[in-house]
Structure 1
Amino acid sequence: MMPAITPSTLEVGTGANSRPIAVERRAGAAPGLFWLNGFKSDMGGSKAIAVDAYGAAHGLAVTRFDYSGHGRSGGEFLQGTVSRWLEEALAVFALTEGPQIVLGSSLGGWLALLLNRALRRAGSGRVKELILVAPAVDATQDLMLAGFSRKELKSLEERGYVERASQYGPEPYVYTRGLIEDGRTHLMFDGVIETGCPVTILQGGKDPDVPQEHALKLVSHLLHDPVTLTLIPDGDHRLSRPEDIRRLEDAIGRAVAD
């Protein structure tokens, strides 16, 4: 019988910054699988569920959670920043044991790299491999701010936020001044990115949100660690079709076997 999912709530932050983070963990062997969602996504998404199913089928530990302002976690979405979500990722990661394969989609890809960097600076080498799906590294600067129109830049200055229609749901995406300004403190493309572990990148060739050029830019900054980039010519941003999920599963299998 496969271990059941254990849901829990983790309080992160203190005082007015405290927020309850919804976590789901499945017990299993090492290396564990640690999943990081994309912007406005949650741990009930198709890729997150596929990662959990893979872990269950192969007896691996799996950890998933929702950022504050997302899914079942507390906190206000409009207060969300890279710093807050990274703090939450580190707090949840501390619940895990042994080597972990860290997987991140879109914004979660950036957070995966930031998480790994923070752990390495603290002397932890528990990240066995990074698997990044359409990684939106430096997204606040290169993919959000750089793409704003004059009207949107004026809205950001005067109203403190920008609204954009989403092709993934009825509610618009909201990008706040706080998110953009905080993102500047976490930029990674200003130098070499050292991971200390292998990196696998899955990138769609028809991704309108994180173009393939962005993935190539990331590769150009990973100078000292093994990198595998799989470009899926007809793939979109989500990469959640059955064939895309199989590629993700194959990447996990290779990381576990290495």
Structure 2
Amino acid sequence: MAATDFLETAQGRRLAYHKSDGAGPTVVFLGGLKSDMEGTKAVHLEAWAKARGQAFLRFDYSGHGESSGKFEDGCIGDWHEDALAAVAALTDGPLIVVGSSMGGWQALLLAKAMPDRIAGMVTIAAAPDFTEDGYWASFSDTQKQVLETEGYVELPSDYMEPYIITKRMIEDGRQQLVLRDAVNLQFPVRFLQGTADTAVSTATAVRLVEHATGSDMRLLLVKDADHRFSDGPCLEIIENAVLEVMGAQ
């Protein structure tokens, strides 16, 4: 297994990453909330890209995986800064951005920040604006009061220990919302969504594709696929979506 490399950012964070050289465009994988770059989809896509001779980058946001910091101290804006820093320092030329769950939100923020670099986008169970439309919207009055007084609330997770959701994450998330303004994606986009996903609903996927504008945009619903979207057939669907947006099919 290749050794992990590290990038020091202008914000003083130490980001862990794996980069594979190859032909462009570079495929960049953006992981989900509390996920890391050793996840099934990230590692599979890296191997797939290497087999094709395609440039590839996966990394851990601060507070995730091998990167510095604690998850509880981070927020959407911090992780957006991490993505910008990694892409600016570690890639050249056009990018194919693949974002999973929260990484789908990060992909949209990246496209907004550097539209000229994005050649294509694939999202997997994209979760834009989830801090506001998911967490805050579902909080009870008691939870909102606890958030205000204690600075955080704990939420159960289907996949790991409870999430610590901080007041800072909620407040920062409001500065990063993408579904309240225009989402103009002038490059090929494939939104992938499982119908058995209990973390991100198909309604969220439909809302995103209806809200965004672009000349080559498709939503693919996969029956019975869950939020992980990482079994063999789903991984093949991701591969094909990346090929589509690269124009290789």
TM-score calculated relative to the size of structure 2: 0.95
> Which one of the candidate residues 24, 41, 45 is aligned to 1:47?
41
Structure 1 contact 7–25 (Cα < 8 Å) conserved: no
User: Whole-Å Cα distance in 1 between the matches of residues 200 and 234 of structure 2?
Assistant: 16
* Displacement of 1:154: 2.2
Between the aligned residues of both structures, percent identity stands at 41
User: What residue in structure 1 maps to residue 50 of structure 2?
Assistant: 56
Q: One-letter code of the match for 2:147?
A: L
> Which one of the candidate residues 141, 145, 155 is aligned to 1:154?
145
User: Whole-Å Cα distance in 1 between the matches of residues 142 and 189 of structure 2?
Assistant: 38
Please state if 1:84 is matched with 2:62: no
* Displacement of 1:5: 4.9
Structure 2 contact 185–213 (Cα < 8 Å) conserved: no
The alignment partner of 1:193 has SS state of coil
User: Whole-Å Cα distance in 2 between the matches of residues 117 and 73 of structure 1?
Assistant: 25
User: Whole-Å Cα distance in 2 between the matches of residues 149 and 200 of structure 1?
Assistant: 35
> Which one of the candidate residues 101, 113, 117 is aligned to 2:96?
101
> Which one of the candidate residues 3, 13, 16 is aligned to 1:19?
13
Post-superposition Cα deviations, 1:79-137, rounded to whole Å, max 9, x if no partner, equal 111111011100100120121100000000000010111013xxxx1211010000001
User: Whole-Å Cα distance in 1 between the matches of residues 104 and 31 of structure 2?
Assistant: 8
The alignment partner of 2:180 has SS state of coil
**How large is the RMSD of aligned CA atoms in angstroms?**
1.4
Please state if 1:198 is matched with 2:175: no
Structure 2 contact 189–245 (Cα < 8 Å) conserved: no
Q: One-letter code of the match for 2:204?
A: H
TM-score calculated relative to the size of structure 1: 0.92
The alignment partner of 2:175 has SS state of helix
* Displacement of 1:6: 6.4
Q: One-letter code of the match for 2:157?
A: S
Structure 1 contact 5–25 (Cα < 8 Å) conserved: no
The alignment partner of 1:83 has SS state of helix
Post-superposition Cα deviations, 1:43-62, rounded to whole Å, max 9, x if no partner, equal 00001011101101111011
User: Whole-Å Cα distance in 1 between the matches of residues 132 and 10 of structure 2?
Assistant: 26
User: Whole-Å Cα distance in 2 between the matches of residues 208 and 145 of structure 1?
Assistant: 17
Please state if 1:113 is matched with 2:103: no
User: Whole-Å Cα distance in 1 between the matches of residues 175 and 5 of structure 2?
Assistant: 31
User: Whole-Å Cα distance in 2 between the matches of residues 207 and 146 of structure 1?
Assistant: 19
User: Whole-Å Cα distance in 2 between the matches of residues 88 and 197 of structure 1?
Assistant: 23
User: Whole-Å Cα distance in 2 between the matches of residues 25 and 195 of structure 1?
Assistant: 26
* Displacement of 1:31: 1.3
Q: One-letter code of the match for 1:100?
A: L
Please state if 1:143 is matched with 2:134: yes
The alignment partner of 1:113 has SS state of helix
User: What residue in structure 1 maps to residue 233 of structure 2?
Assistant: 243
The alignment partner of 1:35 has SS state of strand
The alignment partner of 2:220 has SS state of strand
